[in-house]
């Protein structure tokens, strides 16, 4: 029934069995006592009421007889009255006794007594009446002895038999109650013995289980204590190392805290510089707008220069055409002058004069041609210069355009830089804030690390105490094994 139960369960079952048996013993004892009390009450009742009633009947009968005799002797009405009263008392007691007794034989005896009483009363009344009219005591006594005494004797004998009968009934009830009491005592003793045996068995079983289970548990406790002691030793070493490491960490965190504060100060300076840079970028933005306007003006001026140079080139080309015409005329004049000279050479004296004029004309034509050639050269130089200037100006215009585009790119880059500077400023503010938060966090970490170092030292002390406690627990386990009788493992 106890297989597979814990020791507490077994103990509970054993105690429950013992308690149940004890309660059963108590209940049976109470029932037995109740039965015994009832039997004793019945016996006492029959002894006090029935036996006393029977003896009361006998006593009343004796008093009635005494009053009757006194009346027969002195004839006083007082004695007659007492005789009647005691007669009535006898009747009432007889009625009570007949109502209280349940025994059939006793009832029959009471009925017999009632009849004898009536006969005795009738005889007594007759004698008392006779005594009232006759003062002869001897005659009265003689009549009485014949009429009343036999009935009285029967009545007294019946009363004596009743008393004996009732006394026998009382003795029988007493013996019966004593028997029941003895039975109850035996039952209680048996249950007590059974309870004791059960308690002893439970105690033996519990003791055996206690030895076995507690021995095994104490063995486990001993091995666990040894392991706990070893673990505590390791924890001591670990706690010592941890305390040392936490001390180093605390020192490092302090240095980190200093560095964080320096970073926070640097971030603050960077934020200030970024704000100044952002302001300078905004100022540079206005300068860029002015510069863009200036570049537009330069572009317009360059375009005008190109237009003027192109116009100058066209004019130079027109001049060149005129010069070409002059050169053509000079060449024609030169040819005509030479031919005139040739013609004039065959015309005698007049021809020679004309040849001189023609020669002068040819020289003028040569000079004109030379001048035209110089002009042509100059015009070509001018046109070349104009072309060079136009090309240079166009290159310059293109350069201005390229510069304007690059300036736009630079403007965009500058605005992007300004945007980035603004973003950098925001980021720097965030860095500054984050660094401050980081400094605060590092301070908190520093406090926490200090607390952890203190806890590590306390842990080391606790580990030492744990090791001592484990050793003490091992000793206590050995003592407990000896106490439960298992001995050392």
Partner 1 sequence: MVFRAGPFYCALPLGEVIETMRPLETRALAGTPPYVRGLTILRGAPAPVIDMPRLLTGVETTVDRYVAVRAGRGPIVCATGEVLGVREVHVEPPEGPAAVLAGVSRTLIAAVGTLGTEPLLLLHSIAAVPDEVWEAAGQTPPENPS
Closest separation in Å from C-beta 321 to partner 1:
19
Query: Residue 362, interface with partner 1 (CB under 8 A)?
Result: yes
Per-residue binding string, partner 1, 134-163, x by CB under 8 A, is ------------------------------
For the CB of residue 377, give the shortest distance to partner 1 in the complex, in Å: 17
CA 167 to chain CA centroid, nearest Å: 82
Nearer Cβ to partner 1 (219/351): 351
- Least gap, CB of 349 to partner 1 (angstroms): 15
Triad 111, 161, 43: Cα angle to 5°: 90
The secondary structure of 287-330 as a DSSP string is HHHHHHHHHHHHHHHHHHHHHHHHHHHHHHHHHHHHHHHHHHHH
Q: In whole angstroms, what is the distance from residue 477 CA to residue 483 CA? A: 9
Residue 299: is it exposed, middle or buried by C-beta count within 10 angstroms (0-12/13-18/19+)? middle
Q: Count of alpha carbons within 13 Å of 314, Cβ hemisphere only?
A: 5
Min dist. Cβ of residue 322 to partner 1 (A): 20
- In the complex with partner 1, the residue whose CB is nearer, 54 or 355, is 355
For the range 139-146, what are the long-range contacts, defined as Cβ-Cβ under 8 Å and sequence gap of 24 or more? 140/72, 141/72, 144/72
Is 331 an interacting residue with respect to partner 1 (CB under 8 A)?
Answer: yes
The verdict on 348 binding partner 1 (CB under 8 A) reads: no
Number of other residues whose CB lies within 10 A of the CB of residue 115: 13
Contact predicate 269/413, CB 8 Å: no
Closer to partner 1 at the Cβ: 21 or 372? Answer: 372
Label residues 454-476 b or e (16+ Cβ within 10 Å = b): ebbbebbebbbebbebbeebbeb
Looking at the Cβ atoms of 245 and 326, the one nearer to partner 1 is: 326
Cα(169)–Cα(50) distance, integer angstroms: 9
Nearer to partner 1, 8 or 346 (CB): 346
126, 161, 303, 359: which one binds partner 1 (CB under 8 A): 359
Nearer to partner 1, 270 or 365 (CB): 365
Instruction: Please identify, among the stretches 252-260, 338-346, 379-387, 426-434, the one whose residues bind partner 1 according to the rule CB under 8 A.
Output: 338-346
The candidate with the shortest Cα–Cα distance to 253, out of 394, 447, 123, 99, is 447
- Which residue in 139, 205, 176 sits closest to 47, CA to CA? 176
List the one residue out of 64, 72, 197 whose CA is nearest residue 133. 72
For residue 358, give both structure tokens. 């023609």
d(Cα 161, Cα 57) in Å, to the nearest integer?
12
- State yes or no: residue 361 binds partner 1 (CB under 8 A): no
The binder of partner 1 chosen from 12, 279, 283, 342 (CB under 8 A): 342
**Can residue 435 be called a binding residue for partner 1 (CB under 8 A)?**
no
Stretch that binds partner 1, among 265-273, 343-351, 406-414, 451-459 (CB under 8 A): 343-351
Distance CA 457, CA 427 (A): 43
Smallest gap, in angstroms, from Cβ of residue 332 to partner 1? 9
Residue 22 is inside which H or E element, if any? helix 7-45
Q: Which of 44, 226, 338, 392 binds partner 1 (CB under 8 A)?
A: 338
- Angular region, 321: left φ>0, alpha ψ -120 to 50, beta rest: alpha
Q: Is residue 355 involved in binding partner 1 (CB under 8 A)?
A: yes
CB of 342 to partner 1, least distance (A): 5
Among 129, 227, 252, 345, binds partner 1 (CB under 8 A): 345
Which among 238-246, 268-276, 318-326, 355-363 is the span making contact with partner 1, rule CB under 8 A? 355-363
Cβ-Cβ contacts under 8 Å for 195 (sequence gap 6 or more): 18, 21, 22, 24, 25
Stretch that binds partner 1, among 294-302, 342-350, 408-416, 451-459 (CB under 8 A): 342-350
Pick 126 or 331: Cβ nearer partner 1: 331
Q: Is 335 in the site for partner 1 (CB under 8 A)?
A: yes
- Dig out the tokens for 415 from the structure: 């605005």
Q: Considering only residues 294, 304, 318, 339, which one is a binding residue for partner 1 as defined by CB under 8 A?
A: 339
Minimum distance from residue 344 beta carbon to partner 1 (Å): 9
The least CB distance from residue 356 to partner 1, in Å, is 10
Out of 346, 348, 349, 350, name the contact with partner 1 by CB under 8 A. Answer: 346
Q: How far is the CB of 350 from partner 1 (least distance, A)?
A: 16
**CB under 8 A: which stretch of 62-70, 242-250, 341-349, 438-446 binds partner 1?**
341-349
Q: In whole angstroms, what is the distance from residue 379 CA to residue 319 CA?
A: 7
Is 372 one of the binding residues for partner 1 (CB under 8 A)? Answer: no
Structural contact between residues 71 and 131, judged by C-beta atoms closer than 8 angstroms: yes
Site size for partner 1 (CB under 8 A)? 14
Asked if 324 touches partner 1 (CB under 8 A), the answer is no
List interacting residues with partner 1 (CB under 8 A): 331, 334-335, 337-339, 341-343, 345-346, 355, 359, 362
């Amino acid at each position: 029934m106890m297989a597979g139960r814990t020791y507490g369960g077994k103990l509970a079952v054993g105690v429950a069995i013992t308690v149940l048996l004890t309660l059963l013993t108590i209940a049976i004892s109470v029932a037995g006592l109740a039965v015994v009390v009832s039997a004793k009450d019945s016996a006492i009742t029959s002894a006090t009421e029935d036996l006393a009633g029977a003896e009361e009947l006998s006593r009343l009968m004796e008093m009635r007889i005494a009053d009757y005799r006194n009346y027969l002797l002195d004839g006083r009405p007082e004695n007659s009255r007492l005789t009647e009263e005691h007669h009535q008392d006898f009747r009432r007691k007889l009625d009570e006794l007949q109502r209280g007794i349940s025994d059939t034989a006793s009832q029959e005896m009471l009925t017999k007594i009632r009849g004898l009483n009536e006969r005795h009363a009738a005889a007594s009344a007759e004698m008392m009446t006779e005594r009232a009219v006759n003062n002869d005591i001897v005659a009265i006594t003689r009549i009485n002895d014949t009429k009343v005494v036999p009935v009285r004797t029967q009545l007294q004998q019946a009363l004596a038999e009743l008393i004996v009968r009732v006394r026998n009934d009382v003795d029988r009830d007493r013996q019966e109650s004593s028997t029941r009491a003895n039975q109850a005592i035996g039952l209680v003793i048996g249950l007590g013995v059974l309870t004791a045996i059960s308690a002893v068995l439970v105690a033996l079983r519990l003791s055996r289980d206690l030895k076995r289970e507690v021995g095994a548990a104490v063995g486990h406790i001993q091995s666990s204590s040894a392991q706990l002691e070893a673990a505590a030793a390791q924890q001591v070493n670990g706690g010592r190392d941890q305390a040392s490491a936490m001390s180093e960490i605390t020192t490092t965190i302090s240095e980190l805290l200093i560095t964080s504060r320096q970073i926070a100060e640097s971030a603050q300076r960077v934020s200030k510089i970024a704000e100044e840079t952002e302001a300078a970028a905004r100022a540079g933005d206005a300068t860029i707008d002015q510069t863009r306007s200036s570049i537009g003006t330069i572009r317009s001026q360059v375009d005008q220069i190109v237009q003027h140079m192109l116009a100058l080139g066209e004019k130079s080309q027109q001049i060149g055409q005129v010069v070409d015409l002059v050169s053509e005329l000079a060449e024609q004049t030169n040819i005509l002058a030479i031919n005139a000279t040739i013609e004039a050479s065959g015309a005698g004296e007049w021809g020679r004069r004309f040849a001189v004029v023609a020669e002068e004309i040819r020289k003028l034509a040569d000079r004109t041609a030379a001048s035209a050639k110089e002009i042509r050269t100059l015009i070509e130089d001018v046109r070349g210069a104009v072309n060079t200037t136009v090309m240079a100006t166009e290159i310059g215009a293109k350069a201005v355009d390229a510069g304007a585009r690059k300036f736009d790119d630079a403007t965009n880059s500058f605005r992007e830089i300004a945007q980035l500077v603004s973003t950098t400023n925001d980021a720097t503010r965030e860095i500054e804030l984050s660094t401050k938060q980081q400094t605060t966090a590092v301070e908190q970490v520093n406090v926490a690390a200090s607390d952890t170092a203190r806890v590590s030292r306390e842990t080391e002390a606790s580990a030492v105490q744990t090791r001592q406690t484990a050793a003490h627990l091992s000793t206590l386990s050995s003592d407990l094994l000896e106490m439960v009788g298992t001995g050392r493992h």
